[in-house]
Chains A and B, each alone.
Chain A
Amino acid sequence: MDPAEAEFLAEKELVTVIPNFSLDRIYLIGGDLGPFNPGLPVEVPLWLAVNLKQRQKCRLIPPEWMDAEKLEEIRDQERKEDTFTPMPSPYYMELTKLLLNYASDSIPKADEIRTLVKDTWDTRIAKLRLSADSFVRQQEAHAKLDNLTLMEINTTGTFLTQALDHMYKLRTNLQPAESAQSQDF
């Protein structure tokens, strides 16, 4: 899966915006989007929020976890724990990138937030690599990792599955070879 595909899936997350236009309820295949009244906050999917913002028809409100102190707490907790801590949103990386690119004016301390999220990301990726290495070293058959997000899985997934494929084939070499089978067409 590409990072762009993960971003596409992330755009379904709901965020709050304050529109400056009015519109009745619209009925889309994915669900209804509530009536838009200027000045009243309404929840919309991220793809619509970004589009409206680009056309200057709304103001984005950052999600409540996108706050410097909260993110610092999350980062410190991530550094303390050995396992993965649950993230405030399963798409935190994509949300951060999109919101900070398109709506950095409505988000206070945008640069600090970017740095904090990047730090948390780096810590989690390092933990992922460590656990992948111990998984391979001990030749475990089965591992379970909670609280991983899709973007993290994508970045290391291809490499890890290929390496495990190779390891599996090398491991089946250990069994004594069966009698030669003819090729079937």
Chain B
Amino acid sequence: MAEAYFPVGPGLGPEENFLSLEDILMSQEKLPGRVEAALPRLAAVLGKGAAGSKVEIPLWLAKGLYDNKRRILSVELPKIYKEGWRTVFSADANVVDLHKMGPYYYGFGSQLLNFDNPENAEIAQTILQTFIGRFRRIMDSSQNAYNEDTSALVARLDELERALFRAGQKGLNDFQCWEKGQASQITASSLVQNYRKRKFTDVDG
């Protein structure tokens, strides 16, 4: 309620949010693919650009070049969305280090559904089930860690889960701070603290 800045959240569906910083960073993640047609003027970005060569391009470029008639580019799934890792996720979603596996697992996975792929239904299902499986742990750790160093707890979470963790921590911190009575103390707003105005005594000189 008292925030000065409301960031635009990531869109988790097939369309990303244009104004969301998280989505912009997420679309920079690389995607393996294969070039179908020769692309002479894109050699700077794609390396050689000869037809049939494998490339790793960022998602935003892949989305731009991808066409339903598949003349230019064909994408492959990154490792973690393939069959092998999908079974790992369905076995136990909690052990995976989602931060290392690409810090935007959920967002990137949702974007992958844009490219027609026979495995899309399973990918979507796996992403959903992973989220559900990890939900409990995020909830418990965010609501119970008060005034501690939380870096060990968030190390294995991807960006979406970290945002959730921060929301849970905020709820807890607000409550504890109210209970201690600090909620009625007037403190300087975070917007103004950095202004470093000269104090009145300094002006008098």
Query: Which residues of A pack against B, CB within 8 Å?
Result: 1-5, 7, 97, 101, 125, 129, 132-133, 136-137, 139, 151, 154-159, 162-163, 166-167, 169-174, 177
Contacts and interface: CB of A to CB of B under 8 A. Distances in A.
A149 to B, nearest CB: 13
B47 interface: no
Contact of A158 (B128, B171, B184): B171
Given A137-B135, A158-B168, A174-B121, 9 more contacts: A2-B1, A2-B174, A3-B177, A3-B178, A129-B139, A133-B139, A136-B135, A156-B143, A167-B128
Interface in B160-186: 160, 163-164, 167-168, 170-172, 174-175, 177-179, 181, 183-184
A101 B183 CA distance: 14
B175 A155 contact: yes
B132 interface: yes
Contacts of A155: 143, 171-172, 174-175
A167 B168 contact: no
Contacts of B11: 169
A158 B142 CA distance: 12
A7 B174 CA distance: 13
Interface in B103-135: 106, 110, 113-114, 121, 124-125, 127-128, 131-132, 135
10 contacts: A129-B140, A155-B143, A157-B171, A162-B164, A170-B106, A170-B124, A170-B131, A173-B12, A173-B124, A174-B124
Interface residues of B, number: 40
B168 A170 contact: no
B110 A170 contact: yes
Interface string B1-43: 1100000000111100000000000000000000000000000
B82 interface: no
A101 B168 CA distance: 27
B136 interface: yes
A65 to B, nearest CB: 20
Contact of A166 (B125, B160, B178): B160
Contacts of A154: 171, 175
A166 B143 contact: no
A151 B139 CA distance: 18
Contact of B13 (A129, A151, A157, A172): A172
A170 B18 CA distance: 18
A94 B5 CA distance: 29
B12 A170 contact: yes
B132 A159 contact: no
Nearest to B178: A3
Given A170-B110, A173-B13, A159 B128 contact: no
Contacts of A2: 1-2, 174, 178, 183
Contact of B114 (A4, A167, A177): A177
B47 to A, nearest CB: 29
A177 B174 contact: no
Task: Point out which of A5, A154, A158, A173 has the most chain B C-beta atoms below 10 A from its C-beta.
Answer: A173
B178 A4 contact: yes
Contacts of A151: 175
Contact of B142 (A7, A159, A166, A169): A159
A166 B113 contact: no
Contacts of B177: 3
A53 to B, nearest CB: 16
